[in-house]
Amino acid sequence: MLFHLLYLLCFLVLGTLAFYTMATGWRQKQQRRTNRMQPHPELLDRNGRVIKDSLLVVRVTPRDADIRSRLEALYNRSPDDERRDR
């Protein structure tokens, strides 16, 4: 009889915790829906407005066989070449 009461008490405690956890997650999901989506900080200027500049896109295509050599040449011509040699 004592074992059954202990089992029932554990079941009620675990069930209560499970429902509390589900309710907390549901409330957080509802709050996320009502909050305005924020853009990534790197897409904002110093005043907090979204930038209108075009973004850098790098596309590497397999058709261009010497792209690695051109990138290395560009890297080696950079102004901080002296710092890299040290």
Distances (CA, A) of 85 to 2, 14, 71, 73: 78, 64, 18, 15
Q: Indicate the residue type of 67.
A: I
pLDDT at position 85 is 53
* Alpha carbons 11 and 7: distance in angstroms, whole number: 6
The answer to whether residues 51 and 45 touch, using CB atoms and an 8 Å cutoff, is yes
- Look up the pTM and report it: 0.35
- Residue 13's nearest CA partner among 2, 21, 3, 1 is 21
pLDDT tens digits, 36-83: 677 888 888 889 888 887 776 666 666 666 777 787 888 888 776 555
Q: How confident is the model at residue 10 (pLDDT cuts 50, 70, 90)?
A: very high
